[in-house]
Structure 1
Amino acid sequence: MSSSMPDIANHSQALSEGTLDWVGMSNIEMPLQVSSEGQQPQVVTTSIDAFVNLLPPQAKGIHMSRLYLALDEMSGEQILCPAALQHVLNAFISSHSDLSDSAKVAITFDYHLRRKSLISGKEGWKAYPITVVGQIMQGNLSVELAIDVTYSSTCPCSAALARQLIQNAFTEQFSDEQISKDDVLAWLGTTDGINATPHSQRSVAQVKVKLPSDLAHFPIVQLIDLLENTLQTPVQAAVKREDEQEFARLNGQNLMFCEDAARKIQHSLNQQKSVEDFWVRINHYESLHAHDAVSITTKGVADGYTP
């Protein structure tokens, strides 16, 4: 009978001593069931980062397999929700009771939703990048939900310049003539009539919110709906010509700089009682410039998110 296998993490001393904030694993691939309020659970492929702190200065290391096994148990038996986060974090700490008193897990995945087109009623899939973060420090649980929402932004300055060019072209075309409605309508339907268009660009709102730890489900769909309804111009899935025309109209009626988008979302999130704190980064991926336009805002609570 061979002797028991050595456990270096338990019986060896660190080469140099010191406490460590976080030790663990990243990019763990694992399927999970995700629960969003009002929706059926959805199986998603996740990438997980899992950590505990390392308190004894002389300890060689943690038991990383214990973190994985706790996550594997959640994958097989639980639906991802705030209570499941708390359960797995407590398992991280209890399995390292002699080493750790804090734990953290970050779970990243795409959440797929069927979204209707603007006019035609056609439906298509949209994937929303999501990150759920749970953390226990000094016995306190914090829960964070992060979502990226992609939308179209049309530049107000560009729109004003385009309107001026159209006005100039109108003056040149009809300066010495008796103007008739039919002539103007026909002219407006040509490239000479609409001789300039404002520039727009694909844009992304990156939003992180701190949530109460006693929520039964993550408000994933509710937050997505809130952000898209606030911005008014989310990118579309299935579209017919009438949907594309309506999208053009919505862009024209919702001109915005990155500052405008940030303030719109800031106002909407401030109305949500379940959002304890938020951090928002607006990215307008410029079609005019080679650089991006960015605006960042937070709720501004004490000891909360910082820009």
Structure 2
Amino acid sequence: MRPDSLPDVAGDQAQSARLLDWVGMARIALPLRIETGDGDAMTVAASADVGVNLVDPDARGIHMSRLYLHLQDALSSEILGRDSLRRVLQDCIDSQRGLADRVQLTLRYDQLLRRPALASAHSGWKAYPVEIDAVLGPAGLSLTLALSVEYSSTCPASAALSRQLNAARFVAEFPGDPADTSAVHDWLAAPRGLAATPHAQRSRADVRLSLHEGVEAFPVLAIVDALEHALGTPVQTAVKREDEQAFAALNAENLMFCEDAARRVASVLAADPRVTRFDATVSHFESLHAHDAVARVRG
């Protein structure tokens, strides 16, 4: 049969007239062309949620297949950015032929970034979860970028308590006359020289950023670099012994509660001219407690 001879019940009148805020599809698989941050580009596997508002209260349904077909190839041929998203979203609205005046598209993918080791000549790939939320409607286009950064957090209170035990053991091992340098060195290098270690845990900063209307490209690499630099202890990729030692030193230099980490993240985002608004959550997945330590900040 010819397509135009097939029944289309979506065009029937709705039984209960009502406007709908969002109608569409979730978890659509598609390829996405993205910037790597170093002047190059790559294609990644992504998932998409796309939906429109239904502004005709009497219409039974939207043209859902048209949204799907518009998305399948639109984002794989050119690099993802403000202009390309605006065109795709406008095409989605136009495809509904008056049924909608607002469209929302959410894209999720992992951005692979190659990260150097701390001390050795090695490097490795790390995946950063990214989510982009784009809305086009009568008020214009709005873009939101969300991403996550993992880091290590060593508890300042635990470090202070450990230092106290280490100092007490030192006094017990070297009572009376001051010890000579070589004896103290040998003691510190031996297992006996470590009475306690502070607890540390893998942690994560989740940020959600509203981007200034003048921002064309999504600054994933720049934001990740800034956050990892501020936190000081990003989770590593390739690790040899010298890298592990350097990482231990960074943890000692960057003792932090979740409150400290949240303030570090906020200071970076508040100073970024590309960001008009941010919401950040830092989560320390405790090794001491069975619960997590969490702090949230916005600005």
> What is residue 113 of structure 2 aligned with on the other side?
113
Give SS of 2:89's match.
Answer: helix
Amino acid at match of 1:7: D
Corresponding letter in the other structure for 1:172: A
Counterpart for residue 175 of structure 1: 175
Amino acid at match of 2:6: M
Deviation of 1:260 (Å)? 0.4
Paired position in structure 1 for 2:104: 104
For residues 278 and 248 of structure 2, what CA distance do their matches in structure 1 show?
A: 30
Give the whole-Å Cα distance in 2 for the aligned partners of 1:262 and 1:35. Answer: 28
Structure 2 counterpart of 1:148, one-letter code = S
- Does residue 1:9 correspond to 2:6, yes or no? no
Contact 2:43 2:76 in 1 (8 A): no
Output the CA distance in 2 between the equivalents of 1:213 and 1:89: 16
Matches within 5 A, 1:1-307: 4-10=5-11, 12-299=12-299
Is the partner of 2:192 in helix, strand or coil?
A: coil
How has the CA–CA distance of structure 1 residues 174 and 142 changed in structure 2, closer, same or farther, with 3 Å as cutoff?
same
Q: How far is the alpha carbon of 1:177 from its aligned partner?
A: 4.3
Partner SS for 1:104: strand
Deviations 1:164-214 (A, max 9, x none): 110111111112344111111111112221110000000010011111234
- Secondary structure at the aligned position of 1:195 is classed as coil
C-alpha spacing 1:208/1:18, structure 2 compared with 1 (3 Å):
same
The list of structure 1 runs, each at least 4 consecutive aligned residues, that deviate by more than 4 angstroms after superposition, is none
Q: CA RMSD of the aligned region, Å?
A: 1.4
Q: Deviations over 1:3-32 (max 9, x none)?
A: 71111112x122322111111000001111
- Given the two structures, how large is their TM-score scaled by the length of structure 1? 0.93
CA distance in 1, matches of 2:130, 2:76: 21
Letter in 1 for 2:172: E
Asked whether the equivalents of residues 54 and 62 of structure 1 are also in contact (C-alpha less than 8 Å), the reply is yes
Per-residue deviation, 1:215 = 2.5
Q: Secondary structure at the match of 1:250?
A: helix
Residue identity in the other structure for 1:278 = F
Secondary structure, counterpart of 1:224 in structure 2: helix
Q: Secondary structure at the match of 1:272?
A: coil
> Which stretches in structure 2 are left out of the alignment for 5+ residues?
none
Read off the aligned partner of 2:216 and give its amino acid letter.
A
Structure 2 residue identity aligned to 1:6: P
Q: Is the 8 A contact 2:36 2:113 kept in 1?
A: no
Look up the equivalent residue of 1:266 and give its one-letter code.
A
Q: Distance in 2 between matches of 1:76 and 1:280?
A: 30
- With normalisation by structure 2, the TM-score equals 0.96
Instruction: For residues 64-120 of structure 1, give each alpha carbon's deviation from its aligned partner in whole angstroms, at most 9, with x where no partner exists.
Output: 111111112313432211111111111111111321111100100000011100011
For the residue of structure 2 that corresponds to 1:286, the secondary structure is coil
**1:83–1:214 CA contact under 8 A, matched in 2:** no
Alpha-carbon deviation of 1:292?
Answer: 0.5
Q: Percent identity?
A: 45
Q: What does the per-residue CA deviation read over 1:130-149, in whole Å, with 9 as the maximum and x for residues that have no partner?
A: 01110013241101111100
Report the Cα distance in structure 2 between the residues aligned to 1:6 and 1:98, rounded to whole angstroms: 21
